[in-house]
Amino acid sequence: MVWTDEKVKLLVQYWESGQSITQIGKQLGMTRNAVVGKAHRIGLAKRASPIMRSDKPAQPRVAPAHGGNGGGHAPHTASAGPAPAPRPAPVRVKDEAAVPHAPAQHGNQLTPAMLAALTPTTGPRCKWPIGDPKTADFDFCDHVSLPGKPYCASHCAQAYTNWNPESAVEAVKAINAA
């Protein structure tokens, strides 16, 4: 899988939209494993995990199937080893109370004046996903996109957390001047 910048952005957006890993994976055309793997690799916020891994039992991974292996089969619910390892109850704290939503609207304030300066009167539409692309209630933002960006000004501010509207204004000025 090639994690392009666009893919990562989409992933992040869907992730922060509260969609399930499976949904995101389907929409991006990959397995949920790939999604969650990438997610935790790039450090996306963990969500409410149904489970809590109390320990690291160091599971024997699937046999590499080199040479011959006389058989052997790992059942779905393997357990009951003759090793009663006493654990000192390493309870993993589960604070994080809530609201997976709430986009991190920080420093980048977008004033109406900036918006007016940024937004062209015509051009491609904002590709910000609204809702679930697989269902009927899906929609795009559909505002006019910023020059060179797939999103409108508002959603650029959401897509790029380090988005600086002022620099964007500068860029637009440069384009208009040229």
Partner DNA sequence: CCCTGATTCGC
Partner DNA sequence: GCGAATCAGG
Binding residues for DNA, rule: CB under 7 A, are 1, 3, 19-23, 30-34, 36-42, 46-59, 61-62, 64, 66, 74, 76, 78-79
Question: Given the complex with DNA, which of 54 and 161 has the nearer CB atom?
Answer: 54
CA-to-CA separations, 63 to 31, 59, 70, 71, 91, in angstroms, rounded: 22, 12, 11, 10, 31
The CA distance from 89 to 17, in Å, is 34
Q: Are the beta carbons of 152 and 143 closer than 8 angstroms?
A: yes
CA 160 to chain centre: 13
Quote the least distance from Cβ 147 to DNA, whole Å.
Answer: 28
Question: Given the complex with DNA, which of 44 and 117 has the nearer CB atom?
Answer: 44
Question: Given the complex with DNA, which of 46 and 173 has the nearer CB atom?
Answer: 46
Quote the least distance from Cβ 127 to DNA, whole Å.
Answer: 22
Quote the least distance from Cβ 130 to DNA, whole Å.
Answer: 19
The CA distance from 115 to 178, in Å, is 20
